Structure 1
Amino acid sequence: MSESAIQSVDRALTVLRLLAEHGELGVTDIARRLQVHKSTAFRLVTTLEAHDLVEQHADRGKYRLGVGVLQLAGATTAKLDLVQRARPVSQRLAEVVGETVNITVLSGHEALYVDQVAGSAALQLHNWVGQRIPLHATSNGKVLLASVSGVRFDELTSGVLKRFTDKTITGRAELRGQIEAVRRDGFATAVDELEVGLTAVAAPISGADGVVVGSISASGPSFRVTAERLPDVAKHVVASAHEVSRRLGWHGHYLNPFETWRSLD
């Protein structure tokens, strides 16, 4: 990024801070406080307005923070709320299964890690918080794919499905079939699909309205999370997902949260 672009970003963020502090400001006031020409200030607020981050008061012509800021804050608050309410459950799950527990949410075309708890058996743990993973090659990603409509599924899988290992699903038809199985079973697994020697199982977390808002998973080396052990780990992961959902306000009595998804599709 060029110096001028960095400067523009810095000025735009300063505009948002000024509006947060003063409530409303005109272009002249903004230009004076930024020590820039009025035309520069106008371009800044016009760009921010195009993204709904600021809006102009119809009567006074001054600018104030827009609904886009509220939307961003709301999304962040929702993720923080999910992490806070899920943390005690994640810690218990990590203790019970001894493996690494992660919480993810759908972010764009990927899954975003928002929290992680290490199990007692985890060695040289890689911190995934803040990192993104592909949807088609992970248990968390499959859960998130299973929670969206058919149209959204097509959109999220429209590009090339990257192959990470020989076990990675790269065919859209095969992936769709596996997602149907996830909806039927209420959980997803990924064995050697993102990384050889890594097995994971994930289940959906529902919000107060029953709509899936994220996923919780337990993962570990395949020599520990064996095919024989996987059903037991899945049982604990699903129970933990239900508990987090309850903490988020969902009090429906269901065995499979994707039944709610079917009614909304």
Structure 2
Amino acid sequence: MAESDLTNSISIGTTQADPPSPGKSARGSEDNLKSLVKLVRVLECFTTSSRALTLAEICAKTAIPRSTTHRLLASLREVGFLEQDRERDRYRLGLKLFELGNTALANFDLSHVARPMVEGLRRVSGHAVHLAVFDGYRAVVVHRADPSPEFSAAGTSTFIENTPAHCTSVGKAILAWQPEDVVQNVIARGLERFTDTTLDTEEKLRAELEIIRLRGYSIDEAEHQPGIRCIGAPVRNQNGDVFAGLSITGPAWQLTAEKVPELSKVVIYHADQISRSLGFTSA
């Protein structure tokens, strides 16, 4: 099946017939849009902690009827967006998405512009560095530099990974400067609890975002992963809008609370350098 035919294959209740009337054409476009939205909801079920899911689990996460979900999964599998294991009871993201992600990343100016600053922050801080962009709900990590020699020979890696915006330093560094409606949308989708320190209520999150705006950087105090501390800072485009974030990550015993004030200055400096490279000039 050609990928351009994907939405047609999942549109419920549509058939090939004579050229549709304007009214039918509009309804068809609306049906296709609804199908695409459902496709995205299915794909968003998969995370680094939920790599393989059953049909029942996907239905529970999306609230889409079982029969419709089954047809969506079949179409996604046919074009390579999903894969099914040998027992045929679990689904995983397919390699086609990896290929498309790499293509998008290769054409993404931020990744190229920021690479020297990401690598420089890795060398100066001695910690793993993450560069992420905001998709409206989550922070999407598009570049990582890791100080561990076993990670890779060069110490850097380019990949795509979604991370929660409400409980990671890179996510909160972005979220703190978003418009009110965006913050509210993130809250409305639910503040999932990952650890005992996760900011899982609106009151806690809003108070934290206010602190971040005042001091200029964010901290993740083991809110997403136990024993991990992170420091993040916002990255701005040429218009001054915060659309990305930069962070360093390390074990709490190594990246201690006493080191945060000095390291935050280093993170902010490198984030500002990326912003300037993108055309931003501070007032």
Q: Bin the TM-score by the shorter chain.
A: 0.5 to 0.7
1:177-256 correspondence runs (5 A): 177-253=207-283
Amino acid at match of 2:160: G
Shift of 1:145: 1.2
CA distance in 2, matches of 1:169, 1:236: 25
Partner of 2:134: 106
Pairing 1:11–2:5 present: yes
Amino acid at match of 1:159: R
Structure 2 residues without counterparts, runs of 5 or longer: 8-14, 34-103
- Quickly say closer, same or farther: Cα 1:98–1:49, change in 2 above 3 A: same
User: Identity across aligned pairs (percent)?
Assistant: 27
Helix, strand or coil for the counterpart of 2:159?
Answer: coil
CA distance in 1, matches of 2:204, 2:179: 17
Helix, strand or coil for the counterpart of 1:189?
Answer: strand
- Quickly say closer, same or farther: Cα 1:146–1:50, change in 2 above 3 A: same
Computing the radius of gyration over CA atoms, which structure comes out larger, 1 or 2?
1
Partner of 2:179: 149
CA distance in 2, matches of 1:109, 1:146: 13
Shift of 1:9: 3.5
Amino acid at match of 1:209: N
Shift of 1:249: 0.5
CA distance in 2, matches of 1:10, 1:112: 26
Shift of 1:240: 0.3
| Cα deviations by residue, 1:137-196 (Å, 9 ceiling, x for unpaired) | 101111121121112211111133111111111111111010011111111000111011
Amino acid at match of 1:106: F
Helix, strand or coil for the counterpart of 2:219?
Answer: strand
Amino acid at match of 1:195: Q
Partner of 1:174: 204
8 A Cα contact 1:12 1:48, kept in partner: no
Partner of 2:116: 88
TM-score of the pair, normalised by structure 1: 0.66
- Quickly say closer, same or farther: Cα 1:161–1:97, change in 2 above 3 A: same
Helix, strand or coil for the counterpart of 1:167?
Answer: coil
- What is the aligned-residue RMSD (CA, Å)? 3.2
Structure 1 residues without counterparts, runs of 5 or longer: 1-6, 14-36, 52-75, 254-265
8 A Cα contact 2:172 2:209, kept in partner: yes
- Quickly say closer, same or farther: Cα 1:122–1:174, change in 2 above 3 A: farther
Helix, strand or coil for the counterpart of 2:185?
Answer: helix
Helix, strand or coil for the counterpart of 1:111?
Answer: strand
Write out the 4+ residue segments of structure 1 that deviate beyond 2 Å after TM superposition: 7-13, 37-44, 46-51, 76-79, 121-129
Partner of 1:116: 144
Shift of 1:123: 5.9
Shift of 1:78: 11
Q: 1:163 aligns with which of 183, 193, 196?
A: 193
CA distance in 2, matches of 1:235, 1:159: 32
CA distance in 2, matches of 1:180, 1:104: 21
TM-score of the pair, normalised by structure 2: 0.62
Partner of 2:159: 129
Helix, strand or coil for the counterpart of 2:192?
Answer: coil
8 A Cα contact 1:79 1:114, kept in partner: no
8 A Cα contact 1:99 1:122, kept in partner: no
